[in-house]
Structure 1
Amino acid sequence: MSLAVRPMHADEAEAVAGMVRGLAEHIGTDFVPALTGGKLRSAAGLIDVVVADDGGRLIGACLGLMTFSTWRGAPGLYVVDLFVLPEARGRNVGLDLLRCSARRFAGRGASFIKLEVDETNVGAGRFYARLGFSKKAEDRLHILEQDKFMEFVGGQS
């Protein structure tokens, strides 16, 4: 079979959502992603998804967003998720997905890639290091989850 890396078709959204759930399972978290095909389709204007299609079977996906760095004074690609099915790893599918996504965003002015890797996902850390990514130990992720976000939005100034 021949591998094609291309934009996701709307009817593939549920399969991509399943891959995101597979990523959570791969890193061993008890958290189950709330992403569904419907939610992914409804976010089409916000998120760009490329898939790896191996003869009609999806074997990987890269989900990205445009971001902007005030420190760099430039737009960039923020990789939300990159996942390749276990049986398809070692074939450069992840590299092809990431490169396709980067090219799409470079066409929109992006000049860097930013992403997060779960500390338990050692293989992903090695993958990104091989590509030249540097780990920013001084950065720490802070999240205001949905329930606290709604409290914050409704609060008084």
Structure 2
Amino acid sequence: MADRPNIAGNRDSEIKDLIRRYIKEIDQEKVMQMLAEQSQEWECYSAAVVSGKYQTALESSITYVAYEGDFLCGYSRSLDDCGFYIYVCDLLVRPECRGRNIGRGLLQCVSIDYPGRTVYVMSDEDGYYQKLGFRKEGSVFEISSNS
């Protein structure tokens, strides 16, 4: 497996800054706490009625976490389409950690670990992904259960 992106920038490489795969026993509580601290937009994952379901999704998905020391800075969650594509469903970096290439590093891990696979991002922040140089490809539509 290739080396992980360095999220520490120019800092000493001995600092335990890393991006790695999600480990339920270590990361679950920290990810759920980070979600609870976010805006209402993320409440669909952290609300008590759905948090158990989302915890299962974190474990069964392709999930990466980004740490600076012991501090969780962000995470990404992606789905594997049976060997065809990878879909990034969630990318969240704490506001105080933004601007340090953490989001980019989380996305790079997907490409590194799944070489030759096309990676698509389910985006509600198109400007961010365009800034990273990604090309917009299609649209996403919601089919409501009331339709």
Q: 1:46 aligns with which of 25, 43, 60?
A: 60
**Closer, same or farther in 2 for the Cα pair 1:19/1:43, shift >3 Å?**
same
Q: Any unmatched runs of 5+ in structure 2?
A: 1-14
Give the corresponding residue for 1:60.
Answer: 74
Q: Identify the residue that residue 30 of structure 2 maps to in structure 1.
A: 15
Letter in 1 for 2:143: I
How far did residue 104 of structure 1 move?
2.0
* Distance across 2 between alignment mates of 1:42 and 1:131: 30
Alignment of 1:73-152 (within 5 A): 75-106=84-115, 111-118=117-124, 124-136=125-137, 139-145=139-145, 148=146
Query: What count of residue pairs does the alignment treat as equivalent?
Result: 129
Q: Which has the higher contact order (CA 8 A, sep 6+)?
A: 2
Asked whether the 8 Å contact 2:35–2:43 carries over to 1, the reply is no
Work out whether residues 66 and 105 of structure 1, in 8 Å CA contact, stay in contact via their aligned partners in 2: no
| SS of match in other structure, 1:43 | helix
Alignment CA distance shift 1:2-1:44 (3 Å): closer
**What residue ranges of structure 1 are gaps of 5+ in the alignment?**
69-73, 119-123, 153-157
Per the alignment, residue 34 of structure 1 pairs with 45
Work out whether 1:5 is the aligned partner of 2:19. Answer: yes
Q: What is the TM-score when the length of structure 2 is the normalising length? A: 0.70
1:42 to partner: Cα distance: 2.9
CA deviation profile, 1:62-96 (whole Å, cap 9, x unmatched): 1011126xxxxx71210010011111111111111
Could you list the runs of 4 or more consecutive aligned residues of structure 1 that deviate by over 2 angstroms after TM superposition? 17-23, 34-46, 124-127, 142-145
Q: Is the 1:7–1:50 contact (alpha carbons within 8 Å) kept by the matching residues of 2?
A: yes
Contact 1:13 1:40 (8 Å CA) reproduced: no
Shift of 1:100: 0.9
Q: Distance in 2 between matches of 1:21 and 1:105?
A: 30
- Give the fraction of aligned pairs with identical amino acids, expressed as a percent: 27
Counterpart Cα distance in 2 of 1:139 and 1:88: 29
